[in-house]
């Protein structure tokens, strides 16, 4: 499969008045088109830092992040979509105005791009809420709207930083599966940071297990399920528990 992103010997430390905090140490992996990589690791180990580096928001101290062979930067020509724990929908704008916001800011709002975004609202059941305010939507619908706003810019890669963790457990299950299905249907490449192993296994094509800070890669575990099965079917399959135990062991092994 086509190589999209290459993370090569990346290290990063934060420097503050209190001193130096090494966050990442010699991280190497490759993202191919269509991958759904899930990144798991202890709290505070450097997961969000890694996504910021992949987005070009931070520059590596050592090593490089390449997208299609070019170093990523905010000024680059490639589009990277970023979705966070809080959906950041604006209450003073309607759902339609929210999902068009990115295009508006980037001066890319044309009748054509608008039509394609309204198409996404239709496909994913939000069209009838296009004139509603975010507070009138359920938690799940809000995350759908946030995803559509991200997809509107046609990103080459989607970076998701614990996007479901603000939702209660029940909602998180359905929304996680739902968002995963949309990403798959749209043929997007995604990197999901999560502390929820079940979420990682139910959505991922590979799981990257990070050590505690400064994060190093402990293991990359490929996840094999038939293409056609849903996240829920994955959760109910016999292999699920084996993957869970394997990753759990990896995470809790003494370094
Ligand atoms: P995670 O997302 O895995 O919980 P982060 O990448 O957010 O971890 O943070 C990794 C480490 O870097 C933590 O110890 C955190 O306190 C520290 N850190 C994060 N952001 C900053 C910052 N802006 N300045 C200084 N230290 C930071
Ligand atoms: Mg984080």
Q: Which residue has the tokens 């996240």?
A: 231
Q: Are residues 71 and 142 in the same domain?
A: no
Tens digits of residue pLDDT in 53-90: 999 989 999 999 999 999 998 777 678 998 887 888 99
Q: Are residues 188 and 146 in the same domain?
A: no
Q: Is the CB of 16 under 6 A from ligand 1?
A: yes
Q: Tell me which residues have their CB within 5 A of the ion that is ligand 2.
A: 48
Q: At a CB cut-off of 8 Å and minimum separation 6, what does 5 contact?
A: 30, 31, 54, 65, 66, 67, 72, 157
- Encoded tokens for 63: 């090593």
| Counted domains in the chain | 2
Q: Are residues 11 and 135 in the same domain?
A: no
pLDDT at 168: 83
- Using CA atoms, how far apart are residues 255 and 253, in angstroms rounded to an integer? 6
End residue of a domain, out of 154, 181, 205:
154
Q: Are residues 121 and 241 in the same domain?
A: no
Q: Are residues 66 and 136 in the same domain?
A: no
End residue of a domain, out of 104, 139, 154:
154
State the average pLDDT for the chain.
92
CB 170 within 8 A of CB 198: no
Range of the domain at 113: 89-154
Q: Are residues 43 and 142 in the same domain?
A: no
Mean pLDDT of 149-178: 88
Give the Å distance between the CA of 109 and the centre of ligand 1: 35
Helix or strand or coil: residue 38? strand
Report yes or no on 84 lying in a domain. Answer: no
Read off φ and ψ for residue 240, nearest 5 degrees. Answer: -55, -45
pLDDT at 129: 97
- Using CA atoms, how far apart are residues 255 and 251, in angstroms rounded to an integer? 10
pTM confidence score: 0.92
Tens digits of residue pLDDT in 201-213: 999 999 999 999 9
Kindly report the protein residue whose alpha carbon is nearest to atom 14 of ligand 1: 44
- Using CA atoms, how far apart are residues 159 and 147, in angstroms rounded to an integer? 11
Ligand nearest to the CA of 41: 1
Ligand nearest to the CA of 22: 1
pLDDT of 139 > 90? The answer is no
Give the Å distance between the CA of 226 and the centre of ligand 2: 30
pLDDT of 200 > 70? The answer is yes
């Amino acid at each position: 499969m086509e190589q999209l992103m290459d993370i090569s010997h990346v290290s990063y430390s934060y420097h503050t008045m209190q001193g130096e905090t090494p966050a990442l140490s010699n991280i190497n992996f490759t993202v191919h088109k269509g991958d759904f990589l899930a990144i798991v690791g202890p709290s505070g180990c450097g997961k969000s830092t890694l996504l910021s580096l992949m987005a070009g928001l931070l520059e590596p101290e050592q090593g490089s992040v390449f997208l299609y062979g070019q170093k990523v930067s905010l000024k680059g020509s490639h589009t990277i979509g970023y979705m966070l724990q809080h959906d950041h929908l604006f209450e003073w704008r309607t759902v339609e105005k929210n999902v068009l916001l990115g295009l508006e800011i980037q001066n890319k709002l044309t009748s054509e791009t608008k039509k394609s975004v309204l198409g996404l609202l239709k496909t994913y059941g939000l069209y009838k809420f296009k004139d509603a305010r975010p507070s009138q939507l359920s938690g799940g619908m809000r995350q759908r709207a946030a995803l559509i706003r991200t997809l509107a810019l046609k990103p080459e890669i989607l970076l998701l930083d614990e996007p479901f963790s603000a939702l209660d457990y029940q909602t998180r299950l359905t929304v996680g599966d739902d968002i995963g299905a949309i990403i798959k249907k749209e043929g997007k490449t995604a990197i999901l940071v999560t502390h929820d192993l079940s979420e990682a296994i139910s959505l991922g094509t590979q799981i990257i297990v990070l050590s505690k800070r400064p994060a190093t890669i402990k293991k990359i575990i490929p996840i094999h399920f038939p293409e056609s099965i849903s996240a829920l079917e994955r959760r109910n399959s016999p292999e699920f528990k084996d993957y869970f135990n394997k990753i759990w062991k990896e995470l809790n092994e003494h370094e």
